[in-house]
Amino acid sequence: MKLTLAWMVWTVPTAIFCITIILTVIAMTIWQTVSPSMERRGFLPIPTTPGDRFFIGVLTSVYIFFAWIGLTQFALWILLLIVVCWIVVVMIWG
């Protein structure tokens, strides 16, 4: 029995992606513990906490990603820019 991570076939981009998500979740948990925030209404149709907004932002970003890949041939760095902007917008005004 050998416990290596080889079977998960990590690559640099996916590792960066997963670590970013995990670190963000940890950071948001700490932020929430230090200064608890309340639910509020933004432009989204439901009252949300920062955690909810982060989830909504990431989930919609994945859909944007699929649409981008499936429908267009544009470069991916443009997409990355759009997605980051979108998540920030949702986090602040959502």
- Interacting residues toward other proteins by CB under 8 A: 1-4, 6-11, 13-14, 17-18, 29, 32-33, 36, 46, 49, 51-52, 55-56, 59, 62-63, 66, 69-70, 76
94 burial via Cβ count (<10 Å: 0-12, 13-18, 19+) = buried
- Least Cα distance to 55 among 90, 11, 81 occurs for 90
Instruction: Name which of 30 and 84 has its Cβ closer to other proteins.
Output: 30
Task: Let me know: does 68 contact 74? Beta carbons within 8 Å.
Answer: yes
CB of 8 to other proteins, least distance (A): 5
CB of 73 to other proteins, least distance (A): 9
CB of 93 to other proteins, least distance (A): 20
Look at residue 70 and give its three-state secondary structure.
helix
